[in-house]
């Protein structure tokens, strides 16, 4: 399976490439990045080829491609990948606009190529255990869920050579599509749809930029309420509320209340906090399972078998619709219905 990565703008690209390098049935073709300096940095770090352009990589006829560009630039790269028949794994959110997300889904369907949205948390063993509990009726009738996907301000946890890597776009309202809500709603929205097997019918949200006031243009705090077609409701705290010295970017947690009990999920608890004189802040030594690797194995299998992956482009589209409704609700102060 010949796989390449289009753009290293997103931080997750490093984790994906590292996981791919350890898979015996995968040949990493290399990296293509419009920023040749950034691409060259990571090509040297990982010991893989650097292509001079996206077209040059596409000319080598990859079996599959992973799109890790800025959020607003997913559509053209996905379109290029689909044009050569390559299966596509696109970083989340699928797009910054609902219209672009729909077009991504349409383009891949028309080209008959597998499209997967990068939602690795579906492949986290703790999340899968909760999913099995819910689907087996272990919690009975579900009343509601409190969920958090908090993090530090993205600039606080990026490399010291930030300007060189050009990754400040995470707080750019155009390239990112927003702030904390764009960044952190999608994972939980997708997990909740998957676990509850139900679609969101209404979104109510409030946001502000009290956290890190004056540092960025976008919202840094958000609280979102989702109502599902099956009557379940859920809250999502999607704020950039972790301090800069926090040992990791943040975390993902859920509390699910049913008439037979309460289940809690902490997707990143399998870690030790390490303190050292050699670093300026504590660090996490994570020893748990690799959700990224699980996601990539499913993507590779879907690409090889030319089938629909477990997480689809439509799942990515649904998440973008929920994010768009959250912004509209925060703007108007009113709940926003979804079809």
Which pLDDT belongs to residue 316? 98
Q: How far apart are the C-alpha atoms of 29 and 324, rounded to whole Å?
A: 35
**What pTM value is reported for the model?**
0.94
The helix-helix angle for 180-196 and 313-332 (nearest 10°) equals 120
Which pLDDT belongs to residue 116? 98
Which pLDDT belongs to residue 158? 54
Would you say residue 156 has pLDDT above 70? no
The model's pLDDT over 46-101, given as tens digits with 9 standing for 90+, comes to 999 999 999 999 999 999 999 999 999 999 999 999 999 999 999 999 999 999 99
The model's pLDDT over 231-246, given as tens digits with 9 standing for 90+, comes to 999 999 999 998 877 7
Which pLDDT belongs to residue 98? 98
Average pLDDT over residues 17-27: 94
CA distances for 30 relative to 33, 47, 265, 307, angstroms: 10, 9, 36, 24
The CA dihedral of 125, 130, 131, 136, to the nearest 10 degrees, is: 130
199 contacts 339 by C-beta, under 8 angstroms: no
CATH architecture for the domain at 121-290+311-337: 2-Layer Sandwich (3.30)
The model's pLDDT over 109-150, given as tens digits with 9 standing for 90+, comes to 999 999 999 999 999 999 999 999 999 999 999 999 999 999
Which has the higher per-residue pLDDT, 258 or 285?
Answer: 258
Average pLDDT over residues 194-223: 95
Which pLDDT belongs to residue 92? 97
Task: Please state the domain extents for the chain.
Answer: 2-119, 121-290+311-337
Q: Report residue 307's pLDDT band, with 50, 70 and 90 as the boundaries.
A: very high
Average pLDDT of every residue of the chain: 93
Half-sphere exposure of 172 (CA within 13 A, CB side): 14
3-state secondary structure of 49: coil
Which pLDDT belongs to residue 245? 77
Q: Which residues are 90's β-sheet partners? A: 67, 117
The model's pLDDT over 308-335, given as tens digits with 9 standing for 90+, comes to 999 999 999 999 999 999 999 999 999 9
CATH 3.40.50.300 for domain 2-119, yes or no, is no
Q: How far apart are the C-alpha atoms of 326 and 320, rounded to whole Å?
A: 10
Q: How far apart are the C-alpha atoms of 131 and 121, rounded to whole Å?
A: 11
The model's pLDDT over 260-302, given as tens digits with 9 standing for 90+, comes to 999 999 987 777 777 877 767 777 776 667 899 999 999 999 9
Q: Report residue 166's pLDDT band, with 50, 70 and 90 as the boundaries.
A: confident
Which pLDDT belongs to residue 277? 78
Residue reference for tokens 């390490």: 274
Which pLDDT belongs to residue 201? 98
Q: How far apart are the C-alpha atoms of 51 and 58, rounded to whole Å?
A: 10
201 contacts 229 by C-beta, under 8 angstroms: yes
121-290+311-337 and 2-119 share a CATH fold: no
Sign of CA dihedral 313, 317, 323, 324: positive
Phi and psi, residue 284, nearest 5° = -90, 130
DSSP string, 76-92: HHHHHHHHTT-EEEEPS
Which pLDDT belongs to residue 274? 79
Task: Kindly state the percentage of the chain with pLDDT values over 70.
Answer: 95
3-state secondary structure of 93: coil
């Amino acid at each position: 399976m010949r796989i390449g990565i289009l753009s290293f703008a997103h931080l997750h690209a490093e984790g994906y490439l590292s996981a791919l390098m350890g898979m015996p049935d995968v040949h990493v073709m290399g990296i293509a990045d419009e920023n040749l300096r950034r691409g060259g940095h990571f090509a040297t770090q990982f010991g893989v080829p650097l292509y001079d352009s996206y077209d040059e990589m596409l000319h080598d006829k990859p079996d599959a491609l992973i799109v890790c560009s800025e959020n607003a630039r997913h559509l053209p790269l996905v379109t290029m990948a689909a044009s050569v028949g390559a299966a596509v794994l696109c970083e989340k959110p699928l797009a910054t606009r609902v219209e672009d997300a729909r077009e991504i889904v349409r383009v891949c369907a028309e080209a008959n190529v597998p499209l997967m949205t990068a939602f690795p948390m579906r492949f986290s063993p703790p999340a899968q255990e909760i999913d099995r509990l819910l689907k087996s009726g272990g919690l009975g009738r579900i009343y509601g869920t409190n969920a958090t996907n908090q993090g530090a301000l993205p600039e606080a946890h990026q490399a010291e050579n930030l300007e060189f890597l050009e990754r400040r776009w995470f707080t750019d309202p155009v390239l990112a599509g927003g702030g904390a809500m764009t960044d952190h709603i999608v994972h939980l929205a997708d997990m909740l749809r998957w676990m509850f097997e139900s679609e969101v019918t209404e979104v109510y949200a409030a946001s502000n930029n009290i956290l890190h006031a004056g540092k960025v243009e976008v919202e840094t705090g958000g609280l979102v309420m989702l109502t599902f077609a099956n009557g379940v409701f859920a809250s999502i705290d999607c704020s950039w509320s972790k301090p800069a010295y926090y040992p990791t970017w943040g975390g993902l947690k859920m509390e699910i209340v049913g008439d037979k009990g309460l289940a809690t999920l902490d997707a990143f608890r399998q870690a030790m906090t390490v303190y050292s004189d050699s670093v300026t802040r504590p660090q996490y030594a994570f020893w748990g399972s690799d959700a990224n690797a699980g996601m990539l194995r499913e993507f590779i299998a879907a690409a090889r078998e030319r089938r629909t992956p477990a997480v689809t482009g439509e799942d990515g589209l649904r998440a973008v619709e929920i994010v768009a409704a959250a912004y509209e609700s925060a703007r108007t102060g009113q709940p926003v219905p979804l079809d």
